[in-house]
Structure 1
Amino acid sequence: MSFETDMIIDRRRLKRRLTFWRIVGVLAVVAAVLTALAPFDLSVNKDRIARLEVDGIIVDDRLREEALADIAEDDKVKALIIAINSPGGTFTGGDSLYQSLRKVAEKKPVVTVMGGTAASAGYMIAIAADYVIASAGTITGSIGVIMQTADVTGLMDKIGIKPVVVKSGHLKAQPNPMEPFSEAARRVTEGIIGDFYDMFVEIVIERRNLPKSTAYELADGRIYSGRQAAANGLIDAIGRESDAIKWLAANHNVDDQLPVIDIKIDYEDEPWRELVGKSLGKALFSERLRLDGVLSLWHPEGYLD
């Protein structure tokens, strides 16, 4: 056999080997991708129970509402668990989330599991569920709303600063730290607070099936332990997530062996949301200034993650 023939044979062998290893490499990449996506496929294509974690301060959240709308229409999701650890937040944030959860509840069973705290707007969203469970030591209740301001005009006088405010009417931009809080402004503000408060209590009356007088008596702003809340009809039972799953199985024939999959919300384009929600308890004074409007919030100064 000539030298040239040997060269040709060797080249063909080398080419076959390169082709083989290229195929092996491609298959390895495909296998790695499939392995990485395996958990995702399990959660999307198989029956499951979804879990929504509400942790920290509650604010308006379009992405969360869209995720819940998808959950409502997903036939593979057999039930929703709301896991709450929140002292509340803005009234509109709580109300928006409450409405979104009620839409889910129209399509499938929803159960709430309260963590360490589920107060104020945190309680509002909790009672969107068909069944509410808390730990004995959960801090809940704090049914009410609050709007806070400060009058710094006296301090400004002492340091020689005189604010100048030009506005179209005497009730514009009231309350305002740069002006004394007039009686007319106070009456208007109290009227707004009263209206928001009535809306909150009406939700409690409807969802907890309480007499109006009882609901207003309980809704004086105080907090309750989980045991006290159960005794007063504000929640259904003392327990944990395993008890929620048992309730779903007993009352809605939901398979108690289904996996519980967290709802993942991609905040890549809005990273500030997670920052506000989870860091508020640690850096409250500066963060609290970002919460505009009427709040439904339980003493966040004492709130810890």
Structure 2
Amino acid sequence: MANRADDIIDRRRLRRKLTFWRIAALLVVALVIAATSIWFMRDGIGGATISHIAKVKIEGTITEDDELLKRLERIGKSPLVKGVIIAIDSPGGTTVGGESIFEAVRKLAGEKPVVAQVGTLAASAGYMIATASDHIVARQSSIVGSIGVLIQFPDVTELMAKIGVKLEGVKSSPLKAEPSPFSPTTDEERAMLRALIMDSYDWFVGLVEDRRPLSRTEVLAVADGSIFTGRQALDRKLVDELGGEQEAVDWLETKGVDAGLSVVEWKSTESGGFFSPLSMSGVAGKLLGIEGLGSDLAERIGADRLFLDGLLSLWQPAPGTLGD
């Protein structure tokens, strides 16, 4: 009887030991997988560990994006990257955002051959970024251009009068916090805005003149805010070639890049966190079988523009925004 009890105790001890080592083994495997994932994804290249052509997508409304700037910097330093495709599909965004990415792409072009591939749209700040590359490829029906600057602001003075609301204020000088939607715009305020707009416009035109095979007169002829198809843009020397990714790769080949290399997208390694509103809404959408309930939906309804500040360069600004 005693021997049977001892056998039961030994079996229980053995079972506990087996359970412990199973858990330990699972933890080790999990740590190895996590370490391997971090190693492969450390640059946001999805595990690419051989020479390749890097692809960076710039889509939607353009803003100052520290992660994107760091990603472009890492691409420039990576010995695995032999050439770069900047894939653009954007109506524009903040002027400062476009400027910072333009400068980052120019710096990158000093390290690697860089070509811009225009998708549906590269307008305003989107086109500004495209000019930072050394070659621009666009589809025949792509929309390109919208070089110019515009400020728009609402005037709600009549509405305030109807509902009986008055705004009082004390300021140090007449132009402080002007223009304001709560008071009619004066000639002095319009002159201030005109000077601001023309300075930004002159800067934008200068970038295009410097980066494209056009004289200033030729740039001014297309810098009236007009948009063009890819075919029209080619005739006006705003793009260099019609086509898509294959044509972009073919151009890189003329710069000594092996056309047989894989094109690998370098994606953002940052996110808003699992418990951010957009992430949670995305998870909820998947659980409900509704794709794109998170950030995609926010972009569709224009909620991403709520977070814009500063001077904008947009092809189609929403009413009451600042754009071009």
TM-score normalised by the shorter chain: which range applies? 0.7 to 0.9
> What is the match of residue 64 of structure 1?
68
CA 1:164–1:248: 2 relative to 1, 3 Å:
same
Write out per-residue CA displacement over residues 93-146 of structure 1, whole angstroms, 9 at most, x where no aligned residue: 111111111111111011111111111111000111111111111111001122
Match for 2:300: what amino acid?
K
Report the TM-score when normalising by structure 1.
0.84
Partners of 1:65 and 1:100 within 8 A in 2: yes
Q: Is the 8 A contact 2:67 2:268 kept in 1?
A: no
Partner of 2:111: 107
1:77 alignment partner in structure 2: 81
Q: For residue 282 of structure 1, what is the aligned residue in structure 2?
A: 300
SS in 2 for 1:94: helix
Deviations 1:181-223 (A, max 9, x none): 1101100111011011111111100111210000011100010
1:254 aligns with 2:258: yes
Identity value in percent: 38
In the alignment, the residues of structure 1 paired with residue 33 and residue 295 of structure 2 have an alpha-carbon distance, to the nearest angstrom, of 35
Structure 2: gaps spanning 5 or more residues? 280-292, 320-324
Contact 1:245 1:256 in 2 (8 A): no
Q: How does 1:160-199 map to 2 (within 5 A)?
A: 160-199=164-203
Specify whether residues 238 and 100 from structure 1 end up closer, same or farther in structure 2 by C-alpha distance, changes over 3 A only. same
- 1:204-257 CA deviation, whole Å, 9 max, x = no partner? 001112100000111000100011001110001111112111211232333432
CA contact (8 A) 1:58 1:277 kept: no
> CA 1:246–1:180 in structure 2 vs 1: closer, same or farther (change >3 Å)?
same
**Which amino acid letter does the alignment assign opposite residue 102 of structure 2?**
Y
Q: Which amino acid aligns with 2:120?
A: G
Does structure 2 conserve the Cα–Cα contact (< 8 Å) formed by 1:133 and 1:239? Answer: yes
Change (3 A) 1:119 1:280: farther
CA spacing shift, 1:142–1:22, aligned 2, 3 Å: closer
Following the alignment from structure 2 to structure 1, what is the Cα–Cα distance between the partners of residues 28 and 298? 47
1:130 corresponds to 2:134? yes
- Counterpart amino acid of residue 253 in structure 2: A
Amino acid at match of 2:132: A
Q: CA deviation at 1:149?
A: 0.7
Which residues in structure 2 correspond to 1:1-305 (within 5 Å)? 18=18, 29=30, 40=41, 43=47, 45-268=49-272, 282-284=300-302, 287-300=304-317
* 4+ residue segments displaced more than 4 Å: 19-39, 269-281
Unaligned runs of 5+ in 1: none
Contact 2:63–2:96 at 8 Å: present in 1 too? yes
| CA–CA separation in structure 2 for the residues paired with 1:180 and 1:68 | 45
Question: CA shift at 1:48, angstroms?
Answer: 1.9
**Range moving further from structure 2, 217-226 or 29-38:** 29-38
